[in-house]
Structure 1
């Protein structure tokens, strides 16, 4: 495992930018260990919800964590607005960096992480393969 600190810039779309950073560093899989920063709006999918929650305006990223693989990503985030209200959920495209996003990624060897449909949950879930 290799740790990689990165900074995303204003205007970057958080989820695709994280996926691109992992791909650019030769990693086919990674975990987002931590993330902080600010957003100019966010789109989150709440637990069990079909519709996305769209939050407009300035937001602070309080937490950001998840997994990234060539088969897809699973990222969770909590954000707060200027009044201190907090929302959290699945990160979807449309979370635009306002000033910065600072992340720590743990890059894993190619082929170690993947995603596959799990009939027990009905979702595409993480598959962890032994290194090698």
Structure 2
């Protein structure tokens, strides 16, 4: 496992920046261990909903966690608005960094993640494979 700290800047799309990093560095498996920072816009898909809800405010990122692969990201986040009200859900594209986002990734070079249809859940779910060790 390799720890990789990352800072996103004002205006960055949180999910898009993480997916871009995975593609650019050819990372095949990673976990977002934690993230903190702030957003001006959050796009969160709440449990049981098909579309994300848009939150516009000075938002603090309280938690950010999930998986990253070449197939994309599966991220959950909780944010607090300027009144301290907390919202959480699946992170969609369009979460705009307000001042900073400080994220710790765990890159797993010995694994490959993919998303494949799971008939039990009815969703594209994480499949974990080990990469062959070099001889």
TM over 0.5: yes
Size of the aligned set, in residue pairs, is 132
CA distance in structure 1 between the aligned counterparts of 2:7 and 2:123, rounded to whole angstroms? 31
Q: Is the 8 A contact 1:22 1:107 kept in 2?
A: no
Corresponding residue of 1:64: 64
User: TM-score if structure 2 supplies the norm length?
Assistant: 0.93
Corresponding residue of 1:4: 4
CA distance in structure 2 between the aligned counterparts of 1:40 and 1:82, rounded to whole angstroms? 11
Give a deviation string over 1:20-62, Cα, whole Å, max 9, x none.
1223333122100000000011110011112321101110000
Deviation at 1:110, TM superposition (A): 6.8
Structure 2 residue runs of 5 or longer lacking an equivalent are: none
CA distance in structure 2 between the aligned counterparts of 1:98 and 1:126, rounded to whole angstroms? 30
Corresponding residue of 1:27: 27
Structure 1 residue runs of 5 or longer lacking an equivalent are: none
Query: Where has structure 1 moved over 4 Å in runs of 4 or more?
Result: none
Higher deviation after alignment, 102-111 or 83-92: 102-111
Give a deviation string over 1:47-97, Cα, whole Å, max 9, x none.
111232110111000000000111121100000001000000000001000
Corresponding residue of 2:86: 86
Corresponding residue of 1:113: 113
User: TM-score if structure 1 supplies the norm length?
Assistant: 0.95
